[in-house]
Amino acid sequence: MRLSRYFLPVLKENPAEAQIVSHRYMLRAGMIKQQQAGIYSWLPLGYRVLRRIEAIVHEEQERAGHIPLLMPTLQPADLWRESGRYDDYGQEMLRIRDRQDREMLYGPTNEEMITDIFRAHVSSYRDLPLTLYHIQWKFRDEMRPRFGVMRGREFLMKDGYNFDVTKEDALHAYNRHMVSYLRTYERMGLTAIPMRADSGPIGGDDTHEFLVLASTGESEVFYDDAVTQLKLGDRKVDYDDRDQVAAVCREFTTLYARTDETHKQELFDAIPEDRRKVGRGIEVGQIFYFGTKYSEPMGATVQTADGRAVPVHMGSHGIGVSRLLGAIIEASHDDKGIIWPEGVTPFHCGIVNLKQGDAEADAACEAIHAGMAALGLEALYDDRDERAGGKFATMDLIGLPWRITVGPRGLKNGVVELTSRRSDESVELPPEQAVARVAAIYAGH
Please give the residue ranges that form the binding site for ligand ATP (CB under 6 A): 109, 140, 142, 151-152, 155, 157, 283-286, 318, 320, 322-323
Q: What is the largest CA-CA distance in the chain?
A: 81
CB of 320 to ligand ATP, least distance (A): 2
Question: What whole-number distance in Å separates Cα of residue 167 and Cα of residue 205?
Answer: 13
Q: Which long-range contacts link 238-242 to residues 24+ away (Cβ below 8 Å)? A: 239/63, 239/64, 239/65, 239/176, 239/179, 239/180, 240/65, 242/172, 242/175
115/286 with CB nearer Mg ion: 286
Give percent helix, percent strand, percent coil of the chain, each to the nearest 5. Answer: 40, 30, 35
CB of 181 to ligand ATP, least distance (A): 10
Q: Which of residues 65-104 bind Mg ion (CB under 5 A)?
A: none
CB of 142 to Mg ion, least distance (A): 13
Query: Stretches 21-29, 225-233, 260-268, 283-291: which one binds Mg ion (CB under 5 A)?
Result: 283-291
Residues ≥6 apart with Cβ < 8 Å to 206: 171, 174, 199, 288, 289, 290, 315
The entry of Mg ion, ligand ATP, none near residue 157 (CB within 5 to 8 angstroms by kind) is ligand ATP
Half-sphere exposure of 256 (CA within 13 A, CB side): 22
Residue nearest ligand ATP, Cβ-based: 320
Instruction: Report CA dihedral (241, 245, 251, 255) to the nearest 10 degrees.
Output: -140
**CA 282, chain centre distance (Å):** 12
The entry of Mg ion, ligand ATP, none near residue 417 (CB within 5 to 8 angstroms by kind) is none
DSSP annotation of 262 reads: T
146/422 with CB nearer Mg ion: 146
140/333 with CB nearer Mg ion: 140
Cis geometry, peptide bond prior to residue 194 (ω within 30 degrees of 0)? no
The entry of Mg ion, ligand ATP, none near residue 396 (CB within 5 to 8 angstroms by kind) is none
CB of 8 to ligand ATP, least distance (A): 24
35/304 with CB nearer ligand ATP: 35
37/373 with CB nearer ligand ATP: 37
CB of 41 to ligand ATP, least distance (A): 16
CB of 57 to Mg ion, least distance (A): 16
CB of 409 to Mg ion, least distance (A): 54
Q: Where are the alpha helices (DSSP H) in 7-132?
A: 21-28, 44-63, 77-83, 85-88, 111-121
145/350 with CB nearer Mg ion: 145
Q: Judge contact between 201 and 217, C-beta under 8 A.
A: no
Residues in the chain: 445
210/223 with CB nearer Mg ion: 210
157/365 with CB nearer ligand ATP: 157
Among 22, 286, 301, 394, binds Mg ion (CB under 5 A): 286
138/369 with CB nearer ligand ATP: 138
**CA 423, chain centre distance (Å):** 24
| 3-class SS string, 195-214 | EECCCHHHCCCCEEEEEEEC
CB of 147 to Mg ion, least distance (A): 16
CB of 424 to ligand ATP, least distance (A): 32
Number of residues counted as binding Mg ion (CB under 5 A): 1
The entry of ligand ATP, Mg ion, none near residue 323 (CB within 5 to 8 angstroms by kind) is ligand ATP
The entry of ligand ATP, Mg ion, none near residue 320 (CB within 5 to 8 angstroms by kind) is ligand ATP
Q: How many helices (H) and strands (E) does the chain have?
A: 14, 23
- In this structure, is the dihedral angle defined by the CA atoms of residues 88, 90, 96 and 101, taken in order, positive or negative? positive
The entry of Mg ion, ligand ATP, none near residue 293 (CB within 5 to 8 angstroms by kind) is none
Residues ≥6 apart with Cβ < 8 Å to 56: 184, 187, 188, 343, 344
Applying CB under 5 A, the residues found at the interface with Mg ion are 286
